């Protein structure tokens, strides 16, 4: 394999939940040595699971977010089998140390001296209490790059508010804008856009700072408030209010000016297709695909504005046609007529989708506690840098010996002592479980 662009870069990954780990995933994918700094003495909920020792019977009753352990079985080490952690922990390393103790703090700084980047997304006061802020770490390594990704920034009245992606969605107005017009925000499910947006931006911030350091020799302190990073994703609504004083509501699956535009039921259980018509030419293509039924010739559907104002009736007619056909069939028929259409796929469809298969997107990894499965592949391809998933999602403390003995030069006797003191381990301490 060709040398990856980030080979030789060492990153201390002090992240949790999804936003931070998702960002470091991109960096690990492209060659950085990403070392997750974890602890056997404390459990971070929603990072390696909701609990260090979930009850199997409860997991089997759950569905959805975080419940998909292999065979719905948490196993002996559920923290290594947690599905969300599995999705972003590939190509990384893990070491354990209790940084709340003076000895652990010392170990962290020894490792920091030989690292390039330190990235975290904790609430600011956590990092302050641990004494791991930028003004401290830069005294240990002057050219260190530190990226902090708190929910609301390092200043302001909301500085130390705990927040998950759902809260970010609500704070920027994304929850308000989603859903159907007849639903209030309490009925709009969580989608955690803020986490994924922050992960991508965080990885970009690291790449930008590395480039700056290569040119100047100087480190960088980057503060990325996740809520501010998410704001541009709803920029149109924000600018509409700023310019016009108008508060946007939810359009559901519809569009401000395109019609028809939405999701339509197809044959089968919970099967749907998305259709979008931009202009009269595409409308004629849709009519041809439908067989030019009489209703398409009615005056109320004769132009774009009329169709937009009569969407309810038009959608009923279109769905009478789509519900008799499979969603992939509808897609092919409409695309053949120049109409934008695509099936609404679920996870089952994604793994069997012919497009993903031909591109080899899903890649196989074998995990010591999960077995062999297909994992989502790389976020992008580079024409001159062949790349692939190289390592299974990392187990807790899996690389302790490498970090302590190879990087830090700890002797066998010191290593054993650190194990007894609770710094080194591959399972959580009994009081955590």
pLDDT at 42: 95
Among 29, 25, 32, 26, residue whose Cα is nearest residue 6? 32
Between 361 and 190, the higher pLDDT residue: 361
pLDDT digits over 361-371, tens only? Answer: 999 999 999 99
The answer to whether the beta carbons of residues 168 and 194 sit under 8 Å apart is yes
pLDDT at 311: 96
Q: Under DSSP, is residue 332 helix (H, G, I), strand (E, B) or coil? A: helix
Mean pLDDT, range 171-196, rounded to an integer = 87
pLDDT digits over 122-135, tens only? Answer: 999 999 999 999 99
For 364, the token pair is 């196989």
To the nearest whole percent, how much of the chain has pLDDT over 90? 88
pLDDT at 25: 98
Mean pLDDT, range 97-116, rounded to an integer = 98
User: Does pLDDT of 315 surpass 70?
Assistant: yes
- Which residue has 């169709």 as its token pair? 307
Which helix (DSSP H) or strand (DSSP E) does residue 36 occupy? strand 33-38
pLDDT at 409: 98
Where residue 64 falls among pLDDT bands split at 50, 70, 90? low
pLDDT at 86: 94
Where residue 65 falls among pLDDT bands split at 50, 70, 90? low
User: Does pLDDT of 57 surpass 90?
Assistant: no
Residues 6+ apart with CB under 8 A from 411: none
CA dist 186 and 165 (Å) reads 15
Mean pLDDT, range 78-99, rounded to an integer = 96
CATH assignment, 261-344: 3.30.1540.10
For the 10-232+358-420 domain, the top CATH level (class) is alpha beta
User: Does pLDDT of 338 surpass 80?
Assistant: yes
CA dist 51 and 310 (Å) reads 51
**Taking all residues of the chain, what is their mean pLDDT, rounded to a whole number?**
95
The answer to whether the beta carbons of residues 323 and 273 sit under 8 Å apart is no
pLDDT digits over 380-397, tens only? Answer: 999 999 999 999 999 999
Q: Which residues pair with 366 in a beta bridge?
A: 372
Q: Which residues pair with 363 in a beta bridge?
A: 375
Among 275, 261, 259, 274, residue whose Cα is nearest residue 308? 259
pLDDT digits over 215-230, tens only? Answer: 999 999 999 999 999 9
Every domain of the chain and the residues it spans:
10-232+358-420, 261-344
What's the DSSP call for residue 189? P
């Amino acid at each position: 394999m060709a040398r990856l662009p980030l080979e030789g870069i060492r990153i201390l990954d002090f992240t949790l939940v999804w936003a931070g780990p998702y960002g470091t995933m991109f960096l690990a994918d492209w060659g950085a040595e990403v070392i997750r700094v974890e602890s056997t003495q404390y459990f971070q909920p929603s990072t390696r699971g909701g609990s260090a020792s979930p009850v199997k019977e409860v997991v089997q009753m759950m569905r959805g977010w975080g419940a998909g352990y292999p065979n719905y079985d948490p196993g002996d080490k559920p923290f290594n089998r947690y599905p969300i952690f599995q999705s972003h922990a590939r190509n990384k390393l893990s070491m354990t140390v209790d940084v709340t103790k003076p000895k652990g703090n010392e170990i962290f700084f020894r490792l920091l001296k030989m690292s390039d980047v330190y990235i975290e997304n904790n609430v600011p006061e956590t990092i302050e209490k641990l004494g791991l802020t930028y003004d401290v770490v830069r005294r240990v390594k002057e050219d260190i790059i530190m990226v902090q990704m708190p929910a609301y920034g390092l200043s302001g009245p909301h500085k130390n508010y705990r927040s998950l992606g759902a809260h970010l969605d609500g704070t920027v107005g994304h929850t308000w804008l989603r859903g159907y017009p007849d639903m209030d925000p309490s009925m709009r499910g969580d989608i955690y856009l803020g986490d994924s947006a922050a992960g991508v931006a965080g990885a970009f911030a690291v790449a930008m700072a590395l480039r700056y350091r290569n040119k100047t020799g100087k480190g960088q302190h980057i503060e990325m408030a996740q809520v501010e990073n998410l704001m541009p994703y709803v920029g149109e609504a924000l600018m509409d209010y700023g310019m016009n004083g108008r508060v946007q509501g939810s359009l559901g699956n519809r569009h401000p000016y395109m019609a028809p535009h939405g999701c339509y039921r197809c044959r089968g259980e919970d099967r749907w297709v998305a259709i979008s018509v931009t202009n009269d030419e595409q409308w004629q293509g849709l009519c041809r695909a439908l067989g030019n039924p009489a209703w398409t010739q009615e005056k109320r559907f004769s132009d774009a504005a009329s169709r937009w104002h009569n969407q309810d009736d038009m959608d009923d007619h279109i769905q009478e046609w789509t519900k008799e056909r499979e969603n992939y069939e509808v897609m092919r028929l409409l695309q053949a007529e120049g109409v934008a259409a695509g099936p609404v796929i679920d996870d089952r469809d994604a793994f069997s989708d012919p497009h993903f298969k031909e591109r080899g997107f899903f890649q196989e990894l074998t995990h010591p506690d999960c077995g062999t499965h297909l994992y989502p592949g790389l976020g992008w391809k580079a024409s001159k840098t062949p790349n692939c998933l190289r390592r299974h999602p990392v187990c807790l403390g899996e690389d302790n010996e490498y970090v302590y003995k190879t990087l830090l030069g700890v002797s066998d006797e010191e290593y054993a002592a650190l194990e007894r003191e609770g710094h080194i381990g591959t399972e959580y301490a009994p009081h955590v479980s």
